[in-house]
Amino acid sequence: MRLSIVVEGREDEELINAVVSSVLVPGSFRIVCARGKSHAISMAGTMLTVEEEPVVLAIDADTSNPGLLAEQRSDLSALLNRAAHPGHWRVVFFVPEIESVLVYDDAVVRRLFGRSLDEVERALRDVAPKKSLARLTESTGTSWHQIVQQIAKDTEIASLLAKAPGMSEIVQFAEQVVPNAAE
């Protein structure tokens, strides 16, 4: 048995793979890349209906508002409950978007970019992490590909990121539903 992690896009797939590969056994998971949020939701429901394997739907919340987040969680739970028992799936929200895992911890930022967040980047971190990350990559000349490679090579960074909100939920669910998933 393996866990299927359904994501919105290619960058989500690359980042989650780099992090999760550092803490889960190869073959205990696969990442399925949809083309957008609604396609990811549809794909997760279909996979739960057709396949016998557990599924994580890992998507951007696109909000930091607790009320809107609760509403999304409720709607998706109702949808996925129709496809499979709740113990067979998990919805993981990256709040407000997946880039938040790269800027939430100053130790990660320093290891990836060689410096801490400046005042503007720190202010953007919680409300617009993608913009915070864009400022970092522009000022340091670091590409997305370089970030992912660094995470894949540096187990300390990957371990820190595996504890980030969203990533930790994926790892914990894998450990619950896939025998011997953790390394």
Q: What is the pLDDT of residues 123-168, one digit of tens each?
A: 999 899 999 999 999 999 999 999 999 999 999 999 999 999 999 9
Which pLDDT does position 182 carry in this prediction?
Answer: 84
Give the list of residues 6+ apart from residue 163 with CB closer than 8 angstroms, or none: none
> Would you tell me the crossing angle of helices 155-162 and 144-153 to the nearest 10 degrees?
100
- pTM of the predicted structure, to 2 decimals: 0.95
Which pLDDT does position 20 carry in this prediction?
Answer: 97
- Residue range 77-130, pLDDT digits in tens: 999 999 999 999 999 999 999 999 999 999 999 999 999 999 999 999 989 999
Of residues 50, 55, 52, the one with CA closest to residue 76: 55
Which pLDDT does position 1 carry in this prediction?
Answer: 87
| 183, pLDDT greater than 80 | no
Residue 175's pLDDT band, with cuts at 50, 70 and 90, is very high
Q: Which CA distances in Å does 20 have to 24, 104, 125, 172?
A: 6, 17, 23, 11
Residue 181's pLDDT band, with cuts at 50, 70 and 90, is confident
- The per-residue DSSP string of 17-42 comes to HHHHTTTB-TTSEEEEE-SSHHHHHH
Give the burial class of 86: count Cβ atoms within 10 A of its Cβ; 0-12 exposed, 13-18 middle, 19 or more buried: exposed
Task: With beta carbons less than 8 A apart as the criterion, state whether 5 and 43 touch.
Answer: no
Which pLDDT does position 106 carry in this prediction?
Answer: 94
